[in-house]
Amino acid sequence: MSTKKTKTLDINASANEEAVIENPWQTLNAFTDARVGLGRSGVSVPTKHLLAFQLAHAQAIDAVHTQLDTHQLAKALTEQDWAPDCAPLILHSRATDRATYLQRPDYGRRLDDESGRILDKHTAENPHLAQYDLAIAVVDGLSSLAIEQNTVPFLAALSTYLNPNNTTSKHAQEHWNIAPICIVQQGRVAIGDDICQRLNAKCVLVLIGERPGLSSPDSLGLYLTWEGKVGLTDASRNCISNVRPAGLVYQEAARKAFYLLNEARTLKLSGVNLKDRSDNDLILNEEVESRNFLTN
Amino acid sequence: MSNPHSSFQFHHTVGERTFGFVDLADLMAKATPARSGDRLAGVAAESAEERVIAQMTLADLPLTIFLEQLLIPYEDDEITRLIIDDHDKQAFAPISHLTVGGFRDWLLSDLATPEVLTRIRQGITPEMAAAVSKIMRNQDLILVAKKCHVKTAFRNTIGLPGHLSTRLQPNHPTDDLTGIAASMLDGLLYANGDAVIGINPATDNVQQASRLIKMMDEVIQHYEIPTQSCVLTHVTNTIECIDQGAPVDLVFQSIGGTQATNDSFGFNLANLAEAQDAALSLNRGTVGNNVMYFETGQGSSLSANAHHGLDQQTCETRAYAVARKFNPLLVNTVVGFIGPEYLYDGKEITRAGLEDHFCGKLLGLPMGCDVCYTNHAEADQNDMDNLLTLLGVAGCTFIMGIPGSDDIMLNYQTTSFHDALYARRALGLKPAPEFDAWLAKMEIFKNNEQFTLNNQLPDAFQQSLNRMIGGRS
């Protein structure tokens, strides 16, 4: 029985080799993440690449639907030497579950009643503190994976810019008085406005899990809003996208975020009137590697 | 005031119960097959029964009501003005006596031949098309769309019966020319790209658009490909590109069905007219002069808070009045891109894709569909296979083609180069004839009738590949 089975499998294996036509241009995948040169079985995608795609899609789906472990994240944040003195606050939007979240973006933009009370209580109990310069909201968004993997290393990189050597700067203007970090479940970008307003902070930086791409289930987005308050639109924000080890690396993301934070503080605004010129020196170099080999 | 239903313009009694509908917009919204965007807007039917009652009520209304009761006031909205001012009463005459329900029967009947449907199309308003689609099943939408023939041309002929074209979409997250060229090569060798080679730029400005337009023009000229190119940048950017001498084939714009939506997109009808004139002045078409490429999608008006309380499918269909005004080569409903707050799952995406294709074709548009989904929608490749197959049967003008279904710039999944070949083989659908001849000449197809690809790399492309691989290794 077992001999016969092995023989059948061998026949299948050899038939399979002839069935798949490889593409001579598959080496082009060294120059792009696009799925070029997959080859074909007849005119269809070969099994190997079909299943690779299915795996990537499964990971993206899981990134959307896996709940953020807020306590684990809060613990990790508390252990950092750059962490603000006050422990992170754990908040929730008005979207009660993921299905509601996905269909009602309006619920995801507002804190639920209990979360509102937590923030109001914090502000009421700490009147002696000077106004916060910056609120940081860590929001699950569409990828809890992005938050779990990127939050701590990104904030570590940012902290070296915000408060160098972890000491209070002599110049009040350069010092950033940071509110307790807010961790939010089932939140959208605009929930940062609600948080900024309740904490009476000058601006808010939202770290949010971006809509996962097939090859980027872990992409973190950063949104800066000056004087965030409920009702603002995206025109009031500046965005830094695709923060992850295989995308915009932490150090670069932190450099850009710090540039925008300083500009916002100087100009007292954010959004369309705050231009990101942090890369002005870099753009010219991009042409070097870019080449249309189809014609020259 | 003695009428207990005085706050309702329409009512319908079933047994003991009377259902009321405030006005025509309310009735249209509640008659719409269920979808998340209408629930988000708060305009959807509150029960399955109310939805069917609304459909019955709608079916009894005369088509002429849409010429009398305007869903967005004439004074407030240039698209309403366009719809009313351009309405062709002569073309409308043969169907002017029909109710919405009667219109469905007529469309399905043998009276409505392709020739008759072509003659009356300028007499149909977007609202009439939307209304009748709401009471049609998926198979009705397919069968009638298949009878609506819409032919357009630039460097090839798009939309002939029995044909399906593809947009080659070589997007790259940094607009890297090597990466774009790699996807273009892949697509051409998989016989894709007869509708257009169209790039969504990652950096959206005039300089970048010009650079990409020139790059695609060089490729089209070098290989003498009977197709056209387009960079999907804002219409005002393309006008600037033309002013600066860029070789623009097609002008792109995303369009919506209300003036306020288009305000939020930053353009108006005058901008489109100016752009069309500018593109026509270049006289780059060899077979025809359709120079516009529009994209639409249900939910864009609600997303811009510009929906005037209308359901999203009615807003979408009104966008087709904008498209129709400018004789486009291609119109593409990007059906699953907007996300689950507008179309929740595969079922809603499929329905919307078939509705958009039907309404577009009925109004005379070269309607294609970006059969697509995002990773936060309840949809997967199987849903896309289904919709692709249904649209292929319905005579869809074109679909997207992208390496392995994965758009690495826009982060969504659309149909692949392989998918297009699947549809050709399963349904016998050929590419545009001029492009088909080119595929044979270049030895990309070994057998055009059976859609068999060459197992060897054609000579012309071998040289290009050597430049890249040879030069690098």
Q: Residue A15: is its pLDDT beyond 60?
A: no
Q: Which of residues 265-294 of A touch B (CB under 8 A)?
A: 286, 289-294
Does A31 contact B416 at a Cβ distance shorter than 8 Å? no
Q: What is the pLDDT of residue B473?
A: 38
Yes or no, beta carbons of B404 and A36 under 8 Å apart: yes
Among candidates B183, B422, B457 on the partner chain, residue whose Cβ is nearest the Cβ of A36: B183
- Which chain B residues are closer than 8 Å to A60 by Cβ? 375
SS3 letters across chain B: CCCCCCCCCEEEEECCEEEEECCHHHHHHHCCCCCHHHHHHCCCCCCHHHHHHHHHHHHCCECCHHHHCCCCCCCCCHHHHHHHHCCCHHHHHHHCCCEHHHHHHHHHCCCCCHHHHHHHHHHCCHHHHHHHHHCCCHHHHHHHHHHCCCCEECCCEECCCCECEEEECCCCCCCCHHHHHHHHHHHHHCCCCCCEEEECCCCCCHHHHHHHHHHHHHHHHHCCCCCCEEECCCHHHHHHHHHCCCCCCCEEEECCCCHHHHHHHCCCHHHHHHHHHHHHHHCCCCCCCCCEEEEECCCHHHHCCCCCCCCHHHHHHHHHHHHHHCCCCEEEEECCCCCCCCCCEHHHHHHHHHHHHHHHHHCCCCEEEECCECCCCECCHHHHHHHHHHHHHHCCCEEEEEHHHEECCCCEECCEHHHHHHHHHHHCCECCHHHHHHHHHCCCEEECCCCEECCCCCHHHHHHHHHHHHHHC
Residue A60: which of B170, B373, B175, B345 has the closest Cα? B373
**How would CATH label the architecture of B152-453?**
Alpha-Beta Barrel (3.20)
Does any CB of chain B come closer than 8 Å to the CB of residue A36?
Answer: yes
Tell me the pLDDT tens digit for each residue of A69-111: 999 999 999 999 998 888 999 999 999 999 999 999 999 999 9
The shortest C-alpha distance from B222 to chain A (Å) reads: 7
Q: What whole-number percentage of chain A has pLDDT above 90?
A: 72
Q: Least CB-CB distance to A38: which of B223, B404, B461?
A: B404
Q: What angle do CA A209, A215, A218 make, to 5 degrees?
A: 25
Q: How far apart are CA B16 and CA A275, in angstroms?
A: 63
Whole-number pLDDT of residue A84: 87
Parse chain B into domains and list their residue ranges. Answer: 10-147, 152-453
Q: Is pLDDT of A167 > 70?
A: no
> What mean pLDDT, rounded, does chain A reach?
88
Chain A hits for B472, CB-CB cut-off 8 Å, are 30
pLDDT in tens, A209-248: 999 989 889 999 999 999 999 999 888 999 999 999 988 9
Residues of B in contact with A242 (CB under 8 A): 173
CA atoms within 13 A on the CB side of B391: 39
Rounded to the nearest integer, the mean pLDDT of chain B is 96
Residue of A36, A57, A282 to mutate, testing the B interface (most B Cβ within 10 Å of its Cβ): A36
Do the Cβ atoms of B403 and A215 come within 8 Å? no
User: What pLDDT, in 10s, does the model give residues B264-280?
Assistant: 999 999 999 999 999 99
**Residue B392, CA atoms < 13 Å, CB-side half-sphere:** 22
Q: How far is A218 from chain B (nearest CA, A)?
A: 12
Residue A177 pLDDT > 80: yes
Q: What is the mean pLDDT of residues A3-29?
A: 70
- Residues B211-220 have a mean pLDDT of 97
pLDDT at B360 over 60: yes
This complex has an ipTM of 0.94
pLDDT range class, residue B174, cuts 50, 70, 90: confident
What superfamily does domain A69-267 belong to in CATH?
Ethanolamine ammonia-lyase light chain (EutC) (3.40.50.11240)
pLDDT of residue A215: 82
Residue that wins the pLDDT comparison between A215 and B414: B414
- pLDDT band for position A286 (cuts 50, 70, 90): very low
Closest residue on chain A to B411 (Cα)? A213
Residues B407 and A217: their CA atoms lie apart, in Å, by: 14
**Domain coordinates in residue numbering, chain A:** 2-63, 69-267
Choose the closest CB to A57 out of B176, B375, B465: B375
Say yes or no to pLDDT of B2 above 60: no
Nearest to A134 by CA among A208, A204, A236: A204
pLDDT at position B178: 95
Contact B422 A40 (CB under 8 A): no
Q: Which residues of chain A neighbour B403 with C-beta distances below 8 Å?
A: 34-36, 38
The predicted pLDDT at position A85 comes to 85
For B63-79, the pLDDT digits (tens) are 999 999 999 999 999 99
pLDDT of residue A129: 66
Which of residues A171 and B261 earns the better pLDDT score? B261
Q: Which of residues 26-85 of B touch A (CB under 8 A)?
A: 36, 39-40
pLDDT tier for residue A118 given thresholds of 50, 70 and 90: very high
Q: What pLDDT, on a 0 to 100 scale, did the predictor assign at position B5? A: 55
Confidence of residue B468 (pLDDT cuts 50, 70, 90): confident
d(CA B439, CA B188): 9
Do residues A157 and A128 lie in contact, with contact meaning Cβ atoms separated by under 8 Å?
no
Contact A292 B183 (CB under 8 A): no
CATH fold for domain B10-147: Annexin V; domain 1 (1.10.220)
The predicted structure's pLDDT at residue A281: 55
For B274-315, write each residue's pLDDT tens digit. Answer: 999 999 999 999 999 999 999 999 999 999 999 999 999 999
Please tell me the predicted confidence (pLDDT) of residue A233: 85
